[in-house]
């Protein structure tokens, strides 16, 4: 049994069952729903369908990352048990949470000088981080040391690809990412913006697709172009979605038909409350291992 734990932020958007099965720990972000604070605990305290229904009905949302004190409280019990820690943070291109984790690491290093605490800026989000964590769990289970797993993570974090689209521009407008006029015209023309995560972990708009089917075809095209070994890709593939399971299933079917050598079926997970506060319902995201992401 490894003498270290693997951990990440709840924004990895995996199920509670997946985290438990792979022995991965997670630290929970927070969010506000109509000025009431909740914990992003993977839909345990508030079912995700209820959360997205509240957004559709006009509820105001806001997110907050873990601060350094919360990380200290979270990490300390593991260190007291004599365990080292490797924690993967939500991308620094999206959140400042890695700064909080590093402040906690510096303070705890003085208190536990014999323990190792590695903080990795994942440069990823949602089930992209989940895919990343699943691979690190594989390496741990193969007997790799925490130092070896950390180095692998740093060497390969830009190989997790994220391609996603949204069929509902309401929350892009609300969050200030597009103007009201652009949102109105985009909705009228059924525009689905296609975005990805770049090499700095930032969300970057890439294309404007006319309709969901076209957006799915573009996601599939990006996987063909960038997946490790192309159509012979034999790794895992994850899809996450915000309250649109039919769209996620449709994309999964397309991926499975085009990539016959996948490692298992495409795994579909709901987008959790932290990421969902910003996307709103109607977002589908595709994740796979591929070539190193460029700007």
pLDDT tens, residue by residue, 142-190? 999 999 999 999 999 999 999 999 987 666 656 555 554 444 445 544 7
Contact between 75 and 108 under an 8 Å Cβ cutoff? The reply is: yes
> What is the average per-residue pLDDT within 79-104?
97
Nearest Cα to 134, choosing from 245, 264, 32, 260?
A: 264
Percentage of the residues of the chain whose pLDDT score is greater than 70: 93
Neighbours of 169 (CB within 10 A): 22
Residue 95, class by beta-carbon neighbours within 10 Å (0-12 exposed, 13-18 middle, 19+ buried)? buried
pTM of structure = 0.94
Contact between 173 and 141 under an 8 Å Cβ cutoff? The reply is: no
Which parts of 106-236 are beta strand (E)?
117-121, 160-166, 191-197, 203-210
């Amino acid at each position: 049994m490894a003498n270290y734990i693997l951990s990440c932020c709840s924004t990895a958007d995996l199920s509670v069952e997946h985290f438990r099965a792979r022995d991965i720990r997670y630290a929970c972000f927070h969010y506000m729903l109509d000025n009431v604070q909740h914990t992003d605990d993977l839909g345990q305290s508030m079912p995700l369908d209820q959360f997205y229904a509240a957004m559709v009905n006009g509820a105001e949302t806001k997110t907050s990352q873990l601060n350094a004190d919360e990380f200290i409280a979270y990490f300390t019990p593991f260190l007291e048990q004599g365990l080292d820690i490797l924690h993967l943070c939500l991308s620094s291109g999206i959140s400042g949470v890695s700064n909080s984790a590093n402040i906690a690491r510096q303070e705890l290093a003085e208190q536990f000088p014999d323990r190792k605490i590695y903080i990795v800026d994942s440069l990823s989000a949602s089930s992209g981080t989940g895919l990343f964590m699943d691979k690190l769990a594989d390496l741990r289970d193969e007997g790799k040391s925490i130092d070896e797993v950390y180095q692998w993570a740093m060497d390969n974090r830009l190989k997790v690809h994220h391609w996603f689209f949204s069929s509902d521009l309401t929350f892009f407008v609300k969050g200030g990412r597009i103007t009201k006029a652009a949102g109105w015209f985009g909705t009228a023309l059924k525009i689905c913006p296609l975005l990805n995560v770049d090499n700095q972990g930032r969300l970057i708009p890439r294309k404007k697709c006319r309709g969901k089917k076209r957006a799915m075809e573009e996601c599939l095209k990006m996987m063909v172009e960038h997946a490790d070994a192309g159509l012979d890709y034999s790794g895992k593939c994850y899809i996450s979605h915000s309250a649109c399971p039919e769209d996620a299933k449709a994309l999964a079917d397309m991926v499975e038909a085009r990539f016959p050598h996948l490692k298992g079926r495409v795994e579909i997970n709901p987008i959790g409350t932290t990421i969902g506060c910003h996307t709103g319902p109607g977002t589908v995201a595709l994740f796979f291992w591929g070539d190193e992401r460029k700007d």
